[in-house]
């Protein structure tokens, strides 16, 4: 577990290569409560809502990265999850962040099947956390992320046990 972005794998890599395009392996978790509402967090930094997500670190499996990100951003412990989609299309998964860093993101989307703990509204990475109805999601940081949240929820709804590859 890193202590901050500059100490993370991506932070260290950016220090060496600057803003040129890199491939970033990331994870995203769909975590629902007993009422079928999906968990969103309000991120520190951009002050916008998103699902628990983040980049993998060196020496970490995809599943462990997802568990770590959920823990860091919500305080919850993931015990079991199902991989439902892998997004890697250069047409939809490439973007430039607010600092000019170019990313081609490969995202592993998990449905969290079993979790425990008490939701922490504020952590080192989040300002707030809440569960939202699937048809009434909070405002995302941009149209790009709003469309991605919509796609993720739609893929969650249509998931039939067969991995979605894009």
| Residue 108 falls inside a structural domain | yes
pLDDT band at 144 (very low <50, low <70, confident <90, very high): low
Q: What is the CATH number of the domain that holds 30?
A: 3.90.79.10
Angle at CA 108, nearest 5°, toward 105 and 110? 145
pLDDT of residue 148: 84
Query: Beta partners for 101?
Result: none
The confidence score (pLDDT) of residue 33 equals 97
- 70 φ/ψ angles, rounded to the nearest 5 degrees: -60, -45
DSSP letter assigned to residue 93: S
Residue 9 lies in a domain: no
Helix (H, G, I), strand (E, B) or coil at 10: helix
Q: Which residue has the higher pLDDT, 146 or 9?
A: 9
Number of domains in the chain: 1
Least confident of 7-16, 64-73, 140-149: 140-149
The verdict on residue 16 lying in a domain is no
* Res. 3: pLDDT tops 70: no
Closest CA to 18 of 101, 89, 78: 101
Whether residue 5 is contained in a domain is answered as no
Do 33 and 129 form a contact (C-beta atoms < 8 A)?
no
Rg of the chain over Cα atoms, rounded to whole angstroms, equals 15
Q: Does 6 reside within a domain?
A: no
pLDDT digits (tens, 9 = 90+) for 5-42: 778 888 899 899 999 999 999 999 999 999 999 999 99
For residue 1, pLDDT beyond 60 = no
* 11 falls within a domain: no
Give the angle 116-120-125 at the CA atoms, nearest 5°. Answer: 115
Q: Is residue 145 situated within a structural domain?
A: yes
Q: Give the residue numbers spanning the domain of 93.
A: 21-165
Q: What is the pLDDT of residues 105-124, one digit of tens each?
A: 999 999 999 999 999 999 99
Q: Is the pLDDT of residue 4 over 80?
A: no
In a domain, 160, yes or no: yes
Question: What is the chain's mean pLDDT, rounded?
Answer: 91
């Amino acid at each position: 577990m890193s202590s901050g972005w500059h100490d993370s794998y991506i932070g260290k890599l950016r220090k060496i290569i600057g803003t040129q395009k890199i491939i970033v392996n990331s994870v995203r978790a769909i975590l629902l409560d007993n009422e079928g509402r999906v968990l969103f967090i309000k991120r520190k930094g951009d002050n916008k809502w998103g699902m628990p997500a983040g980049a993998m670190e060196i020496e970490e499996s995809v599943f462990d990265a997802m568990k770590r990100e959920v823990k860091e951003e919500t305080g919850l412990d993931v015990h079991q999850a199902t991989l439902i989609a892998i997004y890697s299309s250069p047409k939809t998964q490439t973007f430039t962040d607010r600092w000019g860093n170019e990313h081609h993101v490969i995202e592993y989307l998990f449905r969290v099947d079993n979790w425990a703990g008490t939701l922490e509204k504020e952590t080192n990475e989040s300002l707030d956390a809440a569960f939202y109805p699937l048809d009434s999601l909070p405002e995302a940081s941009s149209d790009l992320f709003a469309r991605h949240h919509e796609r993720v929820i739609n893929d969650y709804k249509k998931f039939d046990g067969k991995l979605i590859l894009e």
